[in-house]
Each structure stands twice: as C-alpha cells, then as structure tokens.
Structure 1
Amino acid sequence: MPLASHESIQLTAPDGASVSLSLHGGQLLSWKPAGAPEQLYLSPRSEYVPGKVIRGGVPVCFPQFADRGPLPKHGFARTLPWEPVSQEVGKDDALAVLRLRDSDTTRAIWPHAFELELSVRVSGRALDVELACENTGDATLQFTTALHTYLRVADLDDVSIEGLAGLRYFDSIKQAEALQRMDLLLTGEKGVLDLDRIYFGVKEKPLLVAENRRQLVITQQGFDDVVVWNPGPERCAKLADMPPEGWSEMLCVEAASIGRPIELQPGESWVGRQSMSLL
C-alpha cells in the first residue's frame, strides 16, 4: 500500500539522484543514486498505519535502541508523525529536513522535552542522513539511538563488510561479547546468517560493503557504534511484515550509539550522521 502523497516527500537532485521520505516515522524509504538502481530494502508487506513500524528503509531508533531499556522496542520516533521543515533543490544536490518534538504521547512514557531533526541530502552517488537532538527541557536527558539502515542486496552469499576487523562486539543472539578477527563474510551458513551484532567503538572508521561489483562505502560521525543485522530464514518467517524470503534481500548496517548513552544537559545538542557513497 503506497503512502499518500501528503504523507511522503519525493526529492530529486539535478543529476537524477532521488530519495523518498515518509512523514510517518521520519523515515527514508528509498534511495536511488544517479544512474543506479534502488539501494535500500523496503518490505512489500509493510503497513503504513499510524502507530505501526515501516519495515525497511532507514527507521530512526530513539530514544532507546532495541529492548535495552523500559521503552517500546527501538523507542517511539519511528512510529510517530514528523513535520516537514524544509525541502530544497540546489545546484548539485537536494535536501529535506523533518522534525519531531516532544508531545503528551512521548512525555507519558519518556518525561523529557526534546527536538529531533532529520536531514537527508542526496547528490550523485552519495547520501547523507543526519539526526540531531536538542534538549529543550530543564533536566538532563540520556538516550541511545540508531539509523536502522536496510541495504538491498541481490545475493547475501556474495556480501562482505570490510572495516570491522579488530573490533569488540556484542552478539545479541548468543548474549555474549566477542572479537571480530577478520572481515565479515556472509556465507549463508546457519549461525552466520542469524546476525544481530553491536560493534563498539567504530566511530569514524569507514566500512566497505561489497557485493559482486557493487561497492558501498559507509562512514559516520557522532555515532560510536555499528549494528549489523539479518534475521535469517527462521526469524524472518516469524515477522508478519516481511515476506519469508525477505531476509535474503537485505542487510542492515546501522550507525548507532548504544554502548555509551548520549547525555545532554538543558540546551545542549548532539548530531550524528551516516554517509553512504556508491563507488
């Protein structure tokens, strides 16, 4: 079921690069670099209904990552309506900004005043997604967050991620910490495919996601960690908003701050950015 036009923003740069953004959840749904096909995975079974999660694209996890805290899984930002702030096409790029402020709904479960802004810039074969949070209240606030990016892949068996070697990670399936000794190869073996890992201290180290001839460089600023997730066939079959074979067409590589929550004093701001470039 496609979104009504008033609920989504279509953005096209002068060179033809385009994105689609949903006001529901402040969520990027599509990214097509200039002269290239769709780079994001969006489940055909997603429901575009108030209060429901859109499966795919780039959901915003805030103010809690996963179920690591008392709030609903991944917080509330991805299920609430955001307001459009601006939309412009420049000489080389296109930019849209969306905003989410605290409300009676959010304060009922998280008693803080805040303002979130999501800025999406597209140009050529590059995409920048920036999340900013300002503490607009009079008390300190803490949060964990992620840009839950679903990358579209043609064959998971051919995908590798370079740049994680030497990093410590938490395996959310095994509930144990481990060390990544080499590049991550997704070979389709059971136990490798059922992936749910938080890599700590990635900071601004670039990652290369490679599949056959496609190479995507991912960098981040402001985010300390990276999450790599794929549900695998068994878990995917239990997800009502994913087709049974959906796991084989996606891989999440998420810019995140989880290990060390972000703390903002009244009036303070934080900014995190994930940048992707198709080589």
Structure 2
Amino acid sequence: MNNSGLAVEVSKDRNGADQILLRNPRGASAKVSLHGGQVLSWRTDRGEELLFTSSKAIFKPPYAVRGGIPICFPQFGQRGSLEQHGFARNRTWIIDENPPPLHPNDACGKAYIDLLLKPSEDDLKIWPHSFEFRLRVNLTADGNLSLISRIRNINCKPFSFSIAYHTYFSISDISEVRVEGLETLDYLDNLYQRERFTEQGDALTFESEVDRVYLGSRDAIAIFDHERKRTFFIKKEGLPDVGVWNPWEKKSKAMVDFGDEEYKQMLCVNGAAVEKPITLKPGEEWTGRLELSVVPSS
C-alpha cells in the first residue's frame, strides 16, 4: 500500500506478533501491534518519540503492553468478573481486509491501517455479547495520529460497555507539565473509592499519585510540557470523559512491568466513555474518535 510517499509496512515483533509501521512523506511514523490493536510508537518527522513505553513492558500475551495506547474495552477500571480494563488490549486483532467505508476525509492523504476484533469462544464465556470492533489508525500528512473506533452489536440482545484509549504520553518530567481543559469539571477519584469531586484549579499539575476520571469534558484537552517546549492536543468525539493517571513512586515500585522511576517520564490522559456506559441495540453501531497532535510551544 503506497501512495504519494505514504507507506504501510508489516513486520513481526520478537514474539511473532504482526506490527504495522505507518509513515508519512515527511518521515513521521506510527507503529501498531496486532497484539491488543495497540499503538506502540508515534514519532515526529525528526524521530522524536511522543508515546511512553516502559523499559520493563512485557510484549507477550496474555499481558497488555505497559505503554503506547492500550484500548480498554469492554470496560475501563475493575468491575465484576472481567479483568481490569477489559480484554481487548490482550487479544490478537486481525487486519480488516474489507472495512465498510468511512468518511472520505478519514483516508485522504493519510497512511492508515484497519484492524478488527471479534470475540473468541472464551471471550463469549466471560462476556456473552457478540460484537465487531473495527479500529482505523491514521497518520496524517501533518503527523497527527487519529484512532477511529466502530463497535457494532451483532447480538440479538442489547449490551453496554465502557471504553478508554489509555494513552501514555512521553514527557520531560511529571512535575513540569500541566493539563488544561479540565477546569471546573466533576471527577471520580479512584484513590477515594470513586468519590466525586469538582476540579478547583485552572490547570492540573502533579506532585503525587493521580487516578481520576473527569466527567463530561469539552472535546479538546492540552498537555503543556515546558521543559521539552511542546504541547500535546487531544481532540475527541463520542468520548465524553477523560482519565488522568500517574502512579507516582510507591505504586511504580509495586508494578513488575514498570520501572521504579519511570513515573517521572509519563502521563496518561485518556479519551473515554466511563460514567455512562454506551448501550447498543442489536445491529446498532457506536463510533468514537481520538486525534492527537503536538505543536512546539514556548
């Protein structure tokens, strides 16, 4: 697949999982693994890595990779008998050879790949709902990264799910960044049994562990990294909530697939639909979009 300097290459990782490398004419790139349908890398045209992946990440099923953009589906968090953050991030996706047409803008001038996840027999035992989860990963000519998810109910009964794109941004130093676009919002605080609070600050800064879901956010969030002089912009559709997570020191030491000091170089800010699960009737389809961009800032 190669047109006007856009390239899509398929290779294998060290455990035999297929990976797809997307490149644009300027040299920006994104790498997507069929293990979890997960974006593992997103680089600028100067080769700077924009996503964090732990040096201790495990790239082998049944583990989810600690970093990049894991997809949390059909739940975000820990509820009921399903594993935390659902099973989509641990499954092997396939390349979707016949994706139904998207809007023409979703392919024009972009390197992209279409992936598909359907439940296995074992998945249906733990979550008895038939679905088709289609994911398009796009790299634009400007180097922006977008993920378009379409989830269809092919059951004969309704089902509900929650979802999050658990994006690990690579940052200079957690104490040097701030997040804007969450001011005045209510949030559920996972450090206080999901108790509800209201954000008081005009920007979110970090000096200890944070594990929150901000509710009903506007559709654009910004992460300012003063030291690296760059700003990430997160735009989203169909994803009303925003998860914000940094494990800080104590929790970092308790995670086997995460370095003790790595919390300083990462921040998770997730487009999500958590508070009000999405319900699909038989034959219905939901679409959610996330677009990530980065700009130099002073």
The TM-score normalised by the length of structure 2 is 0.87
Q: Match of 2:3? A: none
- The whole-number CA distance in structure 2 between the counterparts of 1:80 and 1:100 is 8
Q: Match of 1:226? A: 242
1:161–1:183 Cα contact (<8 Å) kept: no
AA partner of residue 128 (structure 1): S
AA partner of residue 79 (structure 1): N
Q: Match of 1:99? A: 116
Cα offset for 1:77? 0.4
2:181–2:218 Cα contact (<8 Å) kept: no
Cα offset for 1:203? 4.6
Q: Match of 2:163? A: 145
Q: Superposition pairs for residues 150-161 of structure 1, below 5 Å?
A: 150-161=168-179
1:140–1:266 Cα contact (<8 Å) kept: yes
* Aligned partner of 1:181 among 197, 200, 205: 200
* Aligned partner of 2:275 among 221, 242, 259: 259
AA partner of residue 78 (structure 2): D
Gaps of 5+ in 2: 1-12, 99-106
* Aligned partner of 2:51 among 17, 24, 40: 40
Per-residue deviation, residues 199-221 of structure 1 (Å, max 9, x unmatched):
000152x1110011111111100
Q: Match of 1:216? A: 232
Gaps of 5+ in 1: none
- Report SS of the residue matched to 1:274: strand
- The whole-number CA distance in structure 1 between the counterparts of 2:136 and 2:50 is 18
1:26–1:78 Cα contact (<8 Å) kept: yes
Cα offset for 1:93? 2.0
Per-residue deviation, residues 109-139 of structure 1 (Å, max 9, x unmatched):
0001000011110122311112210001111
1:202 aligns with 2:217: yes
1:203–1:223 Cα contact (<8 Å) kept: no
- The whole-number CA distance in structure 2 between the counterparts of 1:241 and 1:155 is 20
Poorly superposed stretches of 4+, deviation over 4 Å: none
1:15–1:92 Cα contact (<8 Å) kept: no
Cα offset for 1:158? 1.1
- Report SS of the residue matched to 1:34: coil
Aligned residues with identical type, % of pairs = 36
Could you say what the CA RMSD is over the residues aligned between the two structures, in angstroms? 1.8
- Report SS of the residue matched to 1:184: coil
1:272 aligns with 2:288: yes
- The whole-number CA distance in structure 2 between the counterparts of 1:161 and 1:144 is 23
AA partner of residue 50 (structure 1): P
AA partner of residue 163 (structure 1): G
- Report SS of the residue matched to 2:69: coil
Q: Superposition pairs for residues 81-92 of structure 1, below 5 Å?
A: 81-85=92-96, 92=109
Q: Match of 1:115? A: 132
- Report SS of the residue matched to 1:247: helix
1:153–1:249 Cα contact (<8 Å) kept: yes
Corresponding pairs, count: 272
1:236 aligns with 2:252: yes
1:117–1:132 Cα contact (<8 Å) kept: yes
The TM-score normalised by the length of structure 1 is 0.93
Cα offset for 1:33? 2.5
- The whole-number CA distance in structure 1 between the counterparts of 2:223 and 2:268 is 11
- The whole-number CA distance in structure 2 between the counterparts of 1:163 and 1:203 is 7
**Most deviating of 5-14 and 21-30:** 5-14
